[in-house]
Amino acid sequence: MELIHVDGKDAGTITLYALSTCGHCKRTRQFLNELGVAYDYIEVDLLHGEAFDEAYNLVKKYNPHGSFPTLVIGSEETVIVGDRLKEIRAAIGK
């Protein structure tokens, strides 16, 4: 399972689990880009086999509903499900 890294200012570990076809996931990525923070993302619908299982099991670990986008922020692993941009800004600004 390989995460794709996006450069930016360091705001701790930020990982976005997304679907390549999902408008809400795209909006979340655009928002992270606008914030200018460094983050990693992965598009789970493009994975196969073990890489898929590994990524989706992680998504369900953080978000038992297994839905997208699932964003995991910081060492405390704050989880935000859906494109809740205000919450994302608040969690990253901490």
Partner 1 sequence: MVTRFDVERRYLALKKDAEQAGYFLNPDEDFTKELVHGLLVNEDRYGFASCPCRLCVGPREVNLDIICPCDYRDSDLAEYGTCYCALYVSGEIAEGKRQVEPIPDRRGPVPSECLTAQQKAGAPAASAPAVPGPLPYPVFRCRVCGYLCARDEPPEKCPICGAEKDRFEKFMG
β-strands 14-18, 39-43 pairing: parallel
* 31 lines the binding site for partner 1 (CB under 8 A): no
Interacting positions 68-87 with partner 1 (CB under 8 A) = 68, 81-84
- Pick the closer one to partner 1 by CB: 33 or 57: 57
**List 8, 60, 62, 79, residue binding partner 1 (CB under 8 A):** 60
User: Applying CB under 8 A, does 21 fall inside the site for partner 1?
Assistant: yes
Helix (H/G/I), strand (E/B), else coil: 89: helix
